[in-house]
Amino acid sequence: MEIKSIGVVGAGQMGNGIAHVMALAGYDVRLNDISAEALEKAVALIGRNLDRQVSRDKISQAEKDAAMARIVTTQSLADVAQTDLVIEAATEREDIKQKIFDALLPDLKPDTILTSNTSSISITRLASRTDRPEKFMGFHFMNPVPVMQLVELIRGIATDQPTYKACLGVVEKLGKTAASAEDFPAFIVNRILMPMINEAVYTLYEGVGNVNSIDQSMKLGANHPMGPLELADFIGLDTCLAIMNVLHEGLADTKYRPCPLLTKYVEAGWLGRKTQRGFYDYRGEVSVPTR
């Protein structure tokens, strides 16, 4: 099927980035959130990010204006259900994602493809509770969406080939690269990345190094653009913990046991950049390690 309109559920960090790239690629976008304030903030942020692309001569002013005109915001899931492709980009909690899909089902068009931007939750399980498991996929963007080139496409056990090809076509139209992943806990990127971050937290927890020495070691010693603790703050420590729990529970291997220090930070509400404190404190002019 030809995809012309795209519904994005969730106007947070990932949702607004997905809406941005979809509108810029020529798709009509319906951006949904339960919060009117979140929708206003998302549209304003998309505008600022597009302005940055204009200032760097990545796109023209006319392209920016056309992209903004393609984005319609709505607090109604029924509006989103009438699109050709729905991308759920809500918080990384299965119960919330399931409620969203349950609410979408009564108003979906027969051919609408359902996808989730989940970074770790079983696509097969999410799909099995809908009326169209063959038209359900994982559509996992990397953060920040306008910058990162990779999209993981994850087929559930029932996903059919036309659905995969339709989603692959969208990725190609975005000018991004698709990596096909099988539906096992955390897929490819987070299956490798999150245990590395968790091990960095263990290295801190056990006193092998402090925040600065751990991040500097990986930046200068392994040529990583960002240290693992800095990256964890950027992703969100609650998200990192949620993915480690999915790996630990889904694969029943102790090597995926979340570090107690990571759990402690999440319990404290120190979730990284979004709360101004994580492994670094971002409340001043310069970020300062918290350990």
- Give the contacts of 40 (CB within 8 A, at least 6 positions apart): 73
Number of H helices, E strands in the chain: 12, 10
Of residues 32, 49, 117, 119, which has the active-site annotation? 119
Give the chain's domains with CATH numbers. 5-182 (3.40.50.720), 190-289 (1.10.1040.10)
Q: Is the peptide bond before 144 cis (omega within 30 degrees of 0)?
A: yes
pLDDT given for residue 77 in this prediction: 96
Per residue in 130-164, pLDDT (tens digit) is 999 999 999 999 989 999 999 999 999 999 999 99
**Catalytic option among 88, 92, 152, 230:** 152
Q: What is the DSSP letter of 229?
A: H
Per the annotation, the verdict on 190 as an active-site residue is yes
pLDDT number for residue 247: 95
User: End-to-end CA distance of the chain, in Å?
Assistant: 53
Q: Is the dihedral of CA 6, 7, 12, 16 positive or negative?
A: positive
Q: Which residues pair with 151 in a beta bridge?
A: 141, 178
119 part of the active site: yes
- Which residues have CB under 8 Å from 39's CB, separation 6+? 11, 31, 32, 33, 73, 75
Q: How far apart are CA 104 and CA 100, in angstroms?
A: 6
Which pLDDT band holds residue 92 (cuts at 50, 70, 90)? confident
Whole-model pTM: value is: 0.89
Q: Quick: pLDDT tens for 1-33.
A: 789 999 999 999 899 999 999 999 999 999 999
pLDDT of res. 1: 75
